[in-house]
């Protein structure tokens, strides 16, 4: 898959293509349907498929300080898109100047002049151009002039997550913020994951008998609500069942909010400085301040047992693809 960081990275001799445009944060199941259809249509037409996305998130430029928490960093989105068979991802720097482009100018500058769009695949709520004034009706209208077709894919509505609301990044962010990881997984099609470098903490975990890798997450990461979670810690290509703690460690009167993962039954790991991923399967309990340290230790032992059971059950039901 090709990755372009701006319009100037598109090869000069790039021919016609099938394009889909969006933030696609999280590449959730609704996104997967649209992107999957773009890949399929591209194959039918015998041309490559291109996903166009933005960095930073457009809302940050339109309303500074409003950058939403992200479900997946761009490199992870690219990995997921490559997995869907996408041929190229174009990440457009979303500048103040870019945000001023009218819907018609956006179409001409990006879709027509650069990507030579033959087909554009979007969800019904796609908006683009200055003040988000462009919609799929306008996009279709200009297709007659510029020789591209437009296909609109229905929004995916979930069974239960978020009470049956249409799948969206906003809904997924809300579920993550509430600690509803099962709901988030249902929309994403996989457990939510955060990543970053393992940094030093209070060096207390080892004394408690549960060393925890403290993960310095990337800016704007969607971090689940404070609490204890079952999930996995992936380091150096190995995915290990884990008990995860998110919070300020009230037991020790901490103030910094951390994401820490104890790889269950693993001893002697040295993870400092490694880039790791933490996946959240299920909420186990809230962050508490116990009366005694022994009470915390007893609770942690119970958490670990529960996390082991939950991750084992998940892996039994979802055997990894070979
Ligand atoms: C399974 C699990 C449950 C935890 N529960 C709590 C808790 O209820 N209250 C709390 O203050 N800290 C809790 N923690 C966080 C620990 O306080 C923290 O991991 C420990 O202080 C080590 O911190 P360090 O990695 O900075 O050394 C929990 C950690 C784990 C792994
Ligand atoms: N089973 C394990 N799970 C997580 N980290 C482990 C494990 N075993 C050893 N480690 C190492 O120990 C470190 C955590 O120990 P801890 O005492 O909590 O120190 P810190 O406060 O610096 O996180 C991790 O960063 C990792 O390098």
Pick from 240, 265, 260, 238: which is nearest to 249 by CA? 260
d(CA 163, CA 174): 12
- CB neighbours (10 Å) of residue 154? 11
Q: Are 84 and 38 in contact (CB under 8 A)?
A: no
Q: Are 126 and 22 in contact (CB under 8 A)?
A: yes
49: which strand partners? Answer: 18
Q: Does any ligand 2 atom lie closer than 6 A to the CB of residue 200? A: yes
> What is the side-by-side order of every strand in the sheet holding 149-152?
2-4, 88-93, 49-55, 17-21, 117-122, 149-152
d(CA 34, CA 40): 10
Q: Are 106 and 94 in contact (CB under 8 A)?
A: no
Q: Are 155 and 123 in contact (CB under 8 A)?
A: yes
- 156-170, 180-194, 267-281, 296-310 — which is least confidently predicted? 156-170
Pocket test for ligand 2, best of 201, 210, 212 (most atoms within 8 A of CB): 212
Chain centroid to CA 13: 32
What's the CA-to-centroid distance between 302 and ligand 1, angstroms? 13
Q: Going along the chain, which residue ranges are E strands?
A: 2-4, 17-21, 49-55, 88-93, 117-122, 149-152, 192-199, 213-217, 227-235, 238-247, 258-263, 275-285
Q: What is the mean pLDDT of residues 36-50?
A: 98
How many residues make up the chain in this entry?
A: 322
To the question of pTM greater than 0.90 for the whole model, the response is: yes
Domains belonging to the chain, first-starting first, are 2-152 (3.40.50.620), 192-317 (2.40.30.30)
Share of the chain above pLDDT 70, in %: 99
User: What does the pLDDT read at residue 322?
Assistant: 63
What's the CA-to-centroid distance between 122 and ligand 1, angstroms? 44
Q: pLDDT tens, 202-216? A: 999 999 999 999 999
Q: Is the ipTM of this complex over 0.90?
A: yes
Residue reference for tokens 């001023």: 100
Indicate which atom in ligand 2 lies nearest the CA of residue 271. 27
Indicate which atom in ligand 1 lies nearest the CA of residue 228. 3
Dihedral class, residue 220 (left if φ above 0, else alpha if ψ from -120 to 50, else beta)? left
Indicate which atom in ligand 2 lies nearest the CA of residue 208. 17
Which ligand sits closest to the CA of 215?
2
Average pLDDT of the chain, as a whole number:
95
Q: pLDDT tens, 158-204? A: 777 777 888 899 999 999 999 999 999 999 999 999 999 999 999 99
How many Cα atoms sit within 13 Å of 110 on the Cβ side?
Answer: 28
Q: Does any ligand 2 atom lie closer than 6 A to the CB of residue 206? A: yes
Indicate which atom in ligand 2 lies nearest the CA of residue 267. 8
């Amino acid at each position: 898959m090709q990755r372009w960081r701006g319009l100037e990275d598109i090869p000069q001799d790039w021919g016609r293509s099938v394009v889909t445009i969006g933030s696609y944060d999280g590449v959730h199941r609704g996104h997967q349907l649209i992107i999957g259809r773009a890949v399929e249509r591209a194959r039918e037409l015998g041309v490559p498929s291109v996903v166009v996305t933005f960095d930073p998130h457009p809302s940050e430029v339109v309303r500074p300080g409003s950058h939403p928490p992200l479900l997946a960093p761009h490199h992870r989105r690219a990995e997921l898109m490559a997995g869907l068979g996408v041929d190229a991802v174009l990440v457009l720097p979303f500048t103040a100047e870019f945000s001023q482009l009218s819907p018609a100018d956006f179409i001409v500058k990006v879709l027509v002049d650069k990507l030579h769009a033959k087909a554009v695949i979007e969800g019904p709520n796609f908006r683009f151009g200055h003040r988000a004034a462009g919609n799929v009706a306008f996009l279709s209208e200009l297709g007659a002039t510029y020789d591209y077709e437009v296909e609109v894919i229905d929004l995916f509505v979930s069974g239960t997550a978020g009470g049956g609301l249409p799948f969206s990044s906003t809904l997924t962010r809300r579920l993550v913020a509430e600690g509803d990881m099962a709901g988030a997984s249902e929309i994403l099609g996989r457990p939510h994951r955060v990543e970053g470098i393992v940094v030093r903490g209070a060096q207390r975990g080892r004394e408690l008998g549960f060393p925890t890798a403290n993960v310095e997450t990337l800016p704007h990461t969607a971090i689940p609500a404070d609490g204890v979670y079952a999930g996995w810690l992936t380091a150096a290509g190995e995915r290990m069942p884990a008990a995860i703690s998110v919070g300020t460690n009230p037991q020790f009167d901490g103030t910094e909010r951390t994401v820490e993962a104890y790889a269950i039954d693993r001893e002697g790991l040295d993870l400092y400085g490694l880039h790791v991923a933490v996946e959240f399967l299920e909420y186990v309990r809230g962050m508490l301040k116990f009366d005694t340290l022994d009470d915390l230790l007893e609770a942690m032992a119970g958490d670990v047992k529960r996390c082991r059971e939950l991750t084992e059950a998940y892996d039994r039901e979802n055997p990894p693809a070979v």
